[in-house]
Amino acid sequence: MNSSPTAPQQPYARPSKIKWGKIASWIVIALAIIVVLFPFWWVIRTSLSTQREMLAAPKSLAPVGFTTINYARVLGQVDTETAVAAGGSGQQINFWLFLRNSVIVTVLVVVGQTFFSALAAYSFARLKFPFRDKLFFVYLTGLMVPAIVTLIPNYLLIRDLEWDNTYMGIIAPTFLMSPFAVFFLRQFFLGINKELEEAASLDGASKFGIFWRIVIPISGPPLATLSILTFVTTWNTYLWPFLVGKDESVRVLTVALAIFRSQTPQGAPDWTGLMAATIISMIPTLLLFLFLGRRVVNNIQFSGFK
C-alpha cells in the first residue's frame, strides 16, 4: 500500500526579538534633534507672528497672528505707519548697509587667511630653514591661548594705529593666518607627492611658482573646506567687531542685531523684528552648508595625495 507523500515541514520561525537598545538610541537621537532644532523653530515662529499676538500667547508653538510684515519691515519695504499698525516700533534697521559690511569683512578675511595660511603651511611643510619644526611647534601653541587673552593687546594696537571704525581694524587680527588654518593645510601639503615639485624645479620653476602653479591647483578640497570654516566663523563673530567697529558705516550684522533696541508703543522689545532680521542674516550660512556641507565633512579627514 502506497502512502501519500507528506509535505515538507516548514522550519519553525522564531519571533524576532525587539532590539530595545536600538529603539533607545533612536529615541535619544530624536530628542537630541528636537533640542537642537527647537530654538531655530522658535525664532521662525516669533518672526512670523505679530508683536501683540506674540506677547498675548507667548507659549504657543505655532505663529500667532501669522504675518510676513516683519521681514518686509526689516528690509525697509514697509513705511512707519504700517509697521506701527502691525505692532512694531516703526523704527527700521539699516539691514542692507550692515549686510554689505558683513560681506566685505567676511570676504576679505576668507581670502586673506586662506592665501597667507597656505603660504605659511607650505613653508613649514617643504622649505628647509633652521629651527623649522621648533618654530612650528611654538606657533601651534597659539591654539591653546584663549582669544580673550589677546583681545586687549590687539585693541590697543588697533587704537594706536588709528584703525578704529575701519574695515582694516576689524579684519586685522584674522586677515593673515591662524594656527588652526596653518596646521590644517600643512598636514595636506605633507602628503603631496614630492616628484611633482621636483619635476617643476628641474624645469626652472621657483619655489613660489611651484606653490602657485602646482600645489594650489591640487589643493582645492582642503582650501575650500578652510574657506567655508573661516566664512562661518567670521560671519558670526561679534565681540571684536563690536569693540572696533561701533560706527554705523562699518557695523556688521551681528553687532547691529545685538544693539537692535527698537521699542513698541507698549514699551516691550521688538522681538518679532529682531527675529526676522536674525533669520535673514542666517541665510548665507545656511545656503553654504546646504550646498557645501558634504564637502566639509568629506575633507576634514583627508589623507592627501600619494
Residue 248: inside a domain: yes
**Pair (54, 154) in one structural domain:** no
CATH code assigned at 126:
1.10.3720.10
- The reported pTM is 0.80
Residue 31: inside a domain: yes
**Pair (141, 220) in one structural domain:** yes
Residue 49: inside a domain: yes
| Closest listed residue to residue 229, CA positions, set 144, 140, 296 | 296
**Pair (57, 174) in one structural domain:** no
Output Rg (C-alpha) for the chain, integer angstroms.
Answer: 28
Q: What residues does 260 pair with on adjacent strands?
A: none
**Pair (233, 120) in one structural domain:** yes
What's the domain count of the chain?
2
Domain containing residue 162? 95-259
Residue 107: inside a domain: yes
Q: What residues does 269 pair with on adjacent strands?
A: 263
Q: Give the 3-state secondary structure of residue 5.
A: coil
- pLDDT tens for the chain, 306 residues long, are 455 555 555 555 555 566 788 888 899 999 999 999 999 999 999 888 887 788 788 788 888 888 888 888 888 777 767 766 666 656 667 888 999 999 999 999 999 999 999 999 999 999 888 998 899 999 888 888 888 888 999 999 999 999 999 999 999 999 988 899 999 999 999 988 888 888 888 888 888 999 999 999 988 888 988 999 999 999 999 999 999 988 889 999 989 888 776 555 555 677 888 888 889 888 888 888 888 767 666 666 554 444
**Pair (78, 107) in one structural domain:** no
Kindly report, residue by residue over 48-94, the tens digit of the pLDDT. 888 778 878 878 888 888 888 888 888 877 776 776 666 665 666 78
**Pair (135, 214) in one structural domain:** yes
Query: Among residues 84, 107, 136, which one ends one of the domains?
Result: 84
Residue 126: inside a domain: yes
Positive or negative, the CA dihedral 279, 283, 284, 287 is positive
DSSP string for 32-85: HHHHHHHHHHHHHHHHTS-HHHHHH-TT-SS-SS---HHHHHHTT-S-HHHHHH
In whole angstroms, give the CA distance from residue 215 to residue 223: 11
Neighbour-count burial for 227-240, b at 16+ CB within 10 Å, e otherwise: bbbbbbbbbebeeb
CA distances for 78 relative to 52, 163, 270, angstroms? 18, 36, 15
**Pair (205, 250) in one structural domain:** yes
Q: Give the 3-state secondary structure of residue 280.
A: helix
**Pair (140, 172) in one structural domain:** yes
**Pair (133, 198) in one structural domain:** yes
